[in-house]
Amino acid sequence: MAYESIDVRKLAGCGAEVLGLDLNSLSNRQWDEVQRAFTEHGVIFFRDQHLTPEQHIAFARRWGTIDVNRYFTPVAGYPEIAEVRKEPDQKRNIGERWHTDHTYDQIPAMGSILVARELPSHGGDTHFADICTAFDALSDGLKQTLRGMNAVHSSAHIFGAQAKKNHGDLTFYNADQVGDVIHPVVIRHPLSGREALYVNADFTVRFEGWSKEDSKPLLDYLYAHATQDRFTSTFQWRPGSIAFWDNRATWHRAINDYHGERRLMHRITVAGCALEAAS
């Protein structure tokens, strides 16, 4: 169905730019169509928006309850907003490996709204992968095998006390609030009804009933498959850019190629629902 009140430009690989609107004054028709574009494309990108932290929070609340990230540094005065910051003297950045947010939770976040606050002079792009289309492109036999499987997701090796030595110059909180959860490897997407490959390189540690060693070759195969050019896109940030991704339909990773410069983003995660297996 065509869009009438907004301009939706599909990107090759993953996502769409949504233009011709002001997020601070959406008409009812535009709001309906933005929701439809989000379901259709999995990640939507906006340009030339000017959201204050209060307006960022208000926009997030239109989508649902805010799911405050317990590990990230909050923005001063705005506990609902997480800082995604890299300072000029830092070597590490947040989110460098392919992942999707909060899969270590029993009820993972639905989506994340990332607002650019301070950008480096070059680089600092974010890559996105379409995990619904990537799943569809697997062979029928592998799809059927994966539909019957579950995977263990954990925050412990990323945010737990024993992971601190790997953080380098990153700071995370609540190292004691970590643990494992189990999700189906293939979920039925709650909005689109499509099947999605719900494992990711950061937080999935193994398939349920399999050792880490046995799981690794198949997980690595799935990660290599879903990150081919045909399923991915690159978002180049500009002042006023916003990305809103569905954590059940996409993976993302932040490119760490701007050493010596600051990059500061504000992220709000919107609460999701319990996930159901595809079959």
Q: Which is nearer to ligand SIN, 6 or 242 (CB)?
A: 242
Q: Contact letters (x/-) for ligand SIN, 38-57, by CB under 6 A?
A: --------------------
Q: Does the protein bind ligand SIN through residue 265 (CB under 6 A)?
A: yes
Contact range with ligand SIN by CB under 6 A, out of 45-53, 57-65, 93-101, 168-176: 93-101
Q: Is 252 a catalytic residue?
A: yes
84, 146, 219, 268: which one contacts ligand SIN (CB under 6 A)? 84
From 41, 56, 85, 101, the catalytic residue: 101
Instruction: Write down the least CB distance from residue 49 to ligand SIN, Å.
Output: 16
The residues in 151-180 that bind ligand SIN, with binding defined as CB under 6 A, are: none
The residues in 94-153 that bind ligand SIN, with binding defined as CB under 6 A, are: 94-95, 101, 112, 114, 126
From 252, 253, 263, 266, the catalytic residue: 252
Q: Does the protein bind ligand SIN through residue 268 (CB under 6 A)?
A: no
Q: Report the residue closest to ligand SIN, judged by CB.
A: 95
Q: Is 194 a catalytic residue?
A: no
Q: Which is nearer to ligand SIN, 45 or 207 (CB)?
A: 45
Instruction: Write down the least CB distance from residue 217 to ligand SIN, Å.
Output: 26
Q: Is 99 a catalytic residue?
A: yes
Instruction: Write down the least CB distance from residue 66 to ligand SIN, Å.
Output: 15
Q: Is 102 a catalytic residue?
A: no
Instruction: Write down the least CB distance from residue 57 to ligand SIN, Å.
Output: 17
Burial 59-73 (b: 16+ CB within 10 A, else e): bbeebeebbebbbbe
What are the DSSP calls for the chain, one per residue? ---SSSEEEEPSSS-EEEES--TTS--HHHHHHHHHHHHHHSEEEE-S----HHHHHHHHHHHS-B---SSSPEETTEEEEEEEEE-TT----TT-SSB-TTTTSSS--SEEEEEEEE--SS---EEEEEHHHHHHTS-HHHHHHHHT-EEEEESHHHHSGGGGGG-TT-----TTS--EEEEESEEEPTTT--EEE---TTTEEEETTS-HHHHHHHHHHHHHHHTSGGGEEEE---TT-EEEEETTTEEEEE----TTS-EEEEEEEEP-----B--
Instruction: Write down the least CB distance from residue 30 to ligand SIN, Å.
Output: 25
Q: How far apart are CA 120 and CA 259, in angstroms?
A: 9
Please name every residue paired with 242 in a beta bridge, in sequence order, or none if there are none.
46, 115
Neighbours of 91 (CB within 10 A): 10
Q: Does the protein bind ligand SIN through residue 242 (CB under 6 A)?
A: no
Q: Residues 171, 174, 175, 179: what is their CA dihedral angle, to the nearest 10 degrees?
A: -130
Instruction: Write down the least CB distance from residue 85 to ligand SIN, Å.
Output: 9
Interface residues with ligand SIN (CB under 6 A) are: 84, 94-95, 101, 112, 114, 126, 252, 254, 265, 267
User: Catalytic residues, which ones?
Assistant: 99, 101, 252, 267
